[in-house]
Amino acid sequence: MNKELFISAITKVTLGIVLIALLIFLPAGTLLYPNGWLLMGILFVPMVIAGFVMMVKNPDLLRSRLKAKEVQSEQSTVIKLSGLMFLAGFLLAGLDFRFGWTKLPGWVPYAGAAAFLIAYALYAEVLRENTWLSRVIEVQEGQQVVSTGLYGIVRHPMYSATLLLFLSMPVVLGSIPAFVIFLAYPAIIVKRIKNEEEVLKQDLPGYAEYLEKVRWRLIPFIW
């Protein structure tokens, strides 16, 4: 096991746990926010498990997933907008719980949790199919076009999975105002996808042909 990679992964997960906890529970004014703990559990437990699996089976993939600095200036804007969306969404969800703005049936957060876990499973399958996945837009040495499995259905199955992941988060938290904020994500991800396709079409051999083969980018028969 790579000690440096292990420390980097654990550090980032720990910081993520602390940050999300602060964003959720601080505005809620209490730790007695059941939906907040539900989200923390379904978000970080699978993440830690997946991290250990990648560390053992594919450390290069884990290393690329931990890389976060974008070289594309347009993508830096996308990252900043996404960060603002998460910040506003989680803060609103916490305030929503504190002041009782949203009243939803008790089963709704659990339905959201089920959708979240389905999206996580799809995300894991994408990672299994494409070992060149990185958090930043780049073409890696030896990278090839993946066109089988989920990539034979849509061009960007990872973003399809994150779309379901992120839209289910405010549902898990039981907050309609937060859900409205997270509706910004489809627009943000469309901007990222268009730029990513231009970069890959220019730098990745065979990607232009792949674009002709697979018509749908994110959701079959829609876009």
Q: List, in order of start, the domains of the chain with CATH numbers.
A: 3-213 (1.20.120.1630)
Higher pLDDT among residues 221 and 131, named by residue: 221
Higher pLDDT among residues 192 and 140, named by residue: 192
The whole-number pLDDT of residue 95 equals 97
Q: Are 195 and 159 in contact (CB under 8 A)?
A: no
Give the residue from 125, 122, 103 showing the smallest Cα distance to 176. Answer: 103
- The C-alpha atoms of residue 90 and residue 23 are separated, in whole angstroms, by 6
Would the pLDDT of 77 be above 90? no
Higher pLDDT among residues 9 and 139, named by residue: 9
Span 51-74, pLDDT tens digits: 788 777 777 777 766 665 555 555
The whole-number pLDDT of residue 31 equals 96
Would the pLDDT of 35 be above 90? yes
23-43: b (≥16 Cβ within 10 Å) or e: bbbebbeeeebebbebbbebb
Would the pLDDT of 211 be above 80? yes
Q: What's the whole-number average pLDDT of the chain?
A: 87
The whole-number pLDDT of residue 216 equals 93
- 19-40 average pLDDT score: 96
Higher pLDDT among residues 60 and 198, named by residue: 198
Q: What is the value of pTM for the model shown? A: 0.86
- 92-108 average pLDDT score: 95
Give the residue from 43, 36, 9, 10 showing the smallest Cα distance to 22. Answer: 36
The whole-number pLDDT of residue 170 equals 97
Span 132-183, pLDDT tens digits: 666 555 566 667 888 888 999 999 999 999 999 999 999 999 999 999 999 9
Would the pLDDT of 1 be above 80? no
Q: Are 161 and 149 in contact (CB under 8 A)?
A: no
Higher pLDDT among residues 5 and 132, named by residue: 5
The whole-number pLDDT of residue 71 equals 53
- The C-alpha atoms of residue 51 and residue 61 are separated, in whole angstroms, by 10
